[in-house]
Amino acid sequence: MDAVTADAHEKDALLKSLNINVNFAPVCDLSQNPADYIYSRTTGRDAATTAEYAQNVAGAMTSDGMGSVLKHFPGYGPGGDTHKDFSRDSRPLETFESQDFLPFRAGVQAGAGSVLVSHNVIEAMDPDHPASLSPKVHEVLRDALDFDGVILTDDLDMEAITKAYGADTAAVQAVAAGNDMILSSRYTIEIPAVVEAVRKGTLSEDQIDASVRRVLAWKMDLGLIEN
């Protein structure tokens, strides 16, 4: 873990020298099966070790003033590659509560300012929507992990989303679900769609304001703007 922490500080120094203030790390997913899609991006260790890893990395990043993003909530597990298609996770809620949530909780407690939500369909939480577009999954993140920071979608250009949703529909559903920021390159479609949804009352301006406050608070925590 000393080497892990030293590595995090080294990366922070490099990124800050390039005027980059947020790193989409650490990966908090659990996998000890090399056949899992996510395995190569994880520690390959158990929940306790991965939680210690997340705490060390997020803690180092917090002390360096580097924004951290815990991913991919609520835990990727044995899910397939959502860059290519939908992936359903049929594990019981108890598995997430006793295992997958532990690294995310450790990262939140270490000061992580953001959490990124996956496109996996978590059947125990919401069998009808990918996690990134699910209000129920976002409620779990806010309530079970007591997280009040910025929630990000995974990339909405991944085929788990594009095969089932248009860019405009996905963006509006992502905001409605509780995401504060959307990760995508189709912003010329998505921004007008969200603005129009607010104009029509499909999305509330109060919700947009709440997300803006969270983003601004994160920027203040990182010293990017004055309080």
Catalytic residues: 83, 154
Buried b (16+ CB within 10 A) or exposed e, 148-182: ebbbbbbbbebebbeeebebbebbbbbbbbbbbbb
Specify the pairing of strand 88-89 against strand 22-23.
Answer: unpaired
CA distance 144 to 159: 29
Six-digit token string for 102: 């532990």
Which amino acid does the sequence have at 97? E
CB-count exposure of residue 2 (10 Å: 0-12, 13-18, 19+): exposed
CB-count exposure of residue 190 (10 Å: 0-12, 13-18, 19+): buried
Residue 46 to residues 6, 51, 52, Cα–Cα distance (Å): 22, 9, 10
Q: How many CB atoms lie within 10 A of CB 88?
A: 12
